[in-house]
Chain A
Amino acid sequence: MSIYIVKRMVLAFLLLIIISLITFAFINLSPLNPAVVVLQAQGIPDTTEELIRQTEQQFGLDRPFFVRYLDWGMACLQLDFGHSYVTNQPVWSTLGPAFVNTFKLTLVSSIAIMIVSVVLGVICALQVGKKVDKTVRGIAFILTAMPSYWLAALMIWYFSVKLDWLPTSGMDSYRSYILPVLIITISYAGIYFRNVRSSMLSNMNKDYVLYGRASGLKESVVMMHILRNSLQVAISIFCMAIPIILGSTVVIENVFAWPGLGSLSIRAILSRDFPVIQAYVLILAISFVIFNAISDMINAAMNPRLRNGL
């Protein structure tokens, strides 16, 4: 098992290097000269040749690609993502707090998603084909089919405006979390609980379940074995939901005015603020790699057959 963990971490590290290189390269492939963007962003109307060269020197843009990449990479390791072209502030000073805010929302939502998916998945699998199963699947189908911004608007109108129970927007207390978490959970758990359900169902028909029953094991003991094997799916869901939600909270953050990554990244993209975009993409990519590695490790701990797969 420890060999597996080491191998998996080496693999994750290699992936990170490749991702950072690609991120850096793509931004550099943009047809716009960053120096021009900087000058425009700072509101200078006349971009003369000399001014551009000066700016290139100032930001180190005249050096070769790999030198700039190494420089940028080393700085990133120290959370120094450079300065924003627009505000001239260090990128991390705005991106950091936004990341923390989004991460909090994501973490709470992922936990809610996992609990709801597992509970509904297990209930539906045990009641397969019966009323409970059909009702839950029907409701989940309708809810996931609704666009999340529309659902959010409906809920704000009902719970915040009409009943005045919850805040309409912002991030003030734990009560601010309730609506956004609810909406994110609805849009993801409705899909993920099906995975748990089908995984439970396929495990319930396995030979080891029959042999367990034929050996006279209690139903609760047999059920624990089924759960143990089915929950690997739930763990993968949980770990992969975190980066996916991190990257897709844009809509929800805008509806609820959540001071997070989503709104920040949109602004950066619209104003072509390259350092901020680079940092944003990199952070998302890193979180994908990290949570993917964590999910693999937990699964390998639970399913020994996977350990030889690397």
Chain B
Amino acid sequence: MNILEVEQLSIWDQHSGKALVHDSSFQLRKGSCLAIVGESGSGKSLTCRALTRLNPKSLAQSGKIVFKGIDLTTLSEAEIRQKRGKEIAMIMQNGMSAFDPSCVVGVHFRETLGQHLGWKRRVADDHMIKAMERVMLQKPVELLRKYPHELSGGMLQRMMIALAIVLEPDLIIADEPTTALDTISQYEVIQQFLLLRQTIGSSMIFVSHDLGVVRQIADEVLIMRSGEIVERGTTHHIFTNAQHEYTRYLMATRATLSDHFRQLMEGS
């Protein structure tokens, strides 16, 4: 059963009329993880934001986005707002800039939980603290009182995952969640994503240009290039039997990079 069906999604700039994403259709099975891979500017993030209509007003979109049987494009602003966060949660690329710099991070969690579940401060904090312990964050009570600049990108990313654990969304959209992290934090965050899928059984769209990460986490892969889907298939298929020239190019680049890395390591 598909939890999400995107049909002929197009996104274009209203001023210049330039097409940014062209006629892309894809499906997401319930409980599975779809990776969208492509270079910067290929329309990955635009596609993700278009799902909950988060792109700026200067960008227009057309096409159907059927989520759990409802076409999200027909909902009113208030109706789609109730879905954002609660049913479709987003994990941002850069934790350091994802929180209001003038508030302690706890404020965002309280506001979000208060908005969706009507929880008061105490209840919201209690749930957040439990979820933060599950994503292996030390001293959660103190963390909630910290400002974003006092925490690391990896910690903030795990806090966003913790919020998703509390809200139990049906779909999680992670927009390049590991790009801004160092290798060790990347590994930890990926572990948390795997755990997150196990715990709440949500479906996931994972945007990345890191093929190593994609191989670990995704069931299916979608390759995008300049606003169009050029290839799709199961992770195994894409990694072993890519058909499209561009996909093979991506694989080859990755191979060159890792070969070079291996040479360096062996050389030392």
Contacts and interface: CB of A to CB of B under 8 A. Distances in A.
Contacts of A303: 101-102
A212 interface: yes
Contacts of B93: 207
Interface string A190-216: 000000000000000011101111111
B81 A212 contact: no
A228 interface: yes
A64 interface: no
B52 A215 contact: no
Contact of B92 (A210, A225, A304): A210
Contacts of B215: none
Nearest to B101: A305
Nearest to B85: A216
Given A221-B115, A228-B100, A303-B101, A215 B94 contact: no
A210 to B, nearest CB: 6
Interface size class of B (residues with CB under 8 A): 20 to 34
The prevalent SS among residues of A at the interface is helix
B111 A221 contact: yes
A215 B84 contact: yes
Contact of B94 (A207, A214, A228, A305): A207
Given A210-B54, A229-B100, A215 B85 contact: yes
- Of A229, A302, A304, the most chain B CB neighbours within 10 A belong to A304
Interface in B50-87: 52, 54, 81-86
Nearest to A299: B102
A283 B149 CA distance: 39
B98 interface: yes
- Of A212, A214, A304, the most chain B CB neighbours within 10 A belong to A214
B99 A211 contact: yes
Interface string B145-171: 001010000000000100100000000
B98 to A, nearest CB: 4
A11 interface: no
A208 B98 contact: yes
A208 B92 CA distance: 9
B90 interface: yes
A302 B102 contact: yes
Contacts of A206: 97
Contacts of B115: 215-218, 221
Nearest to A208: B100
Contacts of B101: 208, 229, 303-305
Contacts of B204: none
- Of B49, B52, B100, B160, the most chain A CB neighbours within 10 A belong to B100
A214 B97 contact: no
A214 B85 contact: yes
B84 A304 contact: no
A226 B160 CA distance: 20
Contact of B112 (A217, A229, A302): A217
A213 B99 contact: no
Nearest to B87: A216
A225 B97 CA distance: 13
- Of A212, A218, A221, A228, the most chain B CB neighbours within 10 A belong to A212
A212 B149 CA distance: 17
B22 interface: no
A116 B99 CA distance: 29
Nearest to B58: A129
B149 A214 contact: no
A158 B251 CA distance: 77
Contacts of A212: 100, 108, 111
Nearest to B147: A304
Interface in B101-129: 101-103, 108, 111-112, 115-116
A280 B92 CA distance: 55
Contacts of A229: 100-102
A211 B102 contact: no
A216 B102 contact: no
A215 B100 contact: no
Nearest to A129: B58
B102 A207 contact: no
Nearest to B173: A214
A214 B93 CA distance: 13
6 contacts: A207-B97, A208-B98, A208-B100, A214-B84, A214-B90, A221-B111
Interface of A: 206-208, 210-218, 221, 225, 228-229, 232, 302-305
Given A210-B49, A214-B90, A217-B112, 10 more contacts: A208-B100, A210-B92, A210-B98, A213-B84, A214-B92, A216-B81, A216-B116, A221-B111, A225-B100, A304-B102
7 tightest A-B contacts by CB? A216-B85, A214-B90, A216-B84, A215-B85, A207-B97, A211-B98, A215-B112
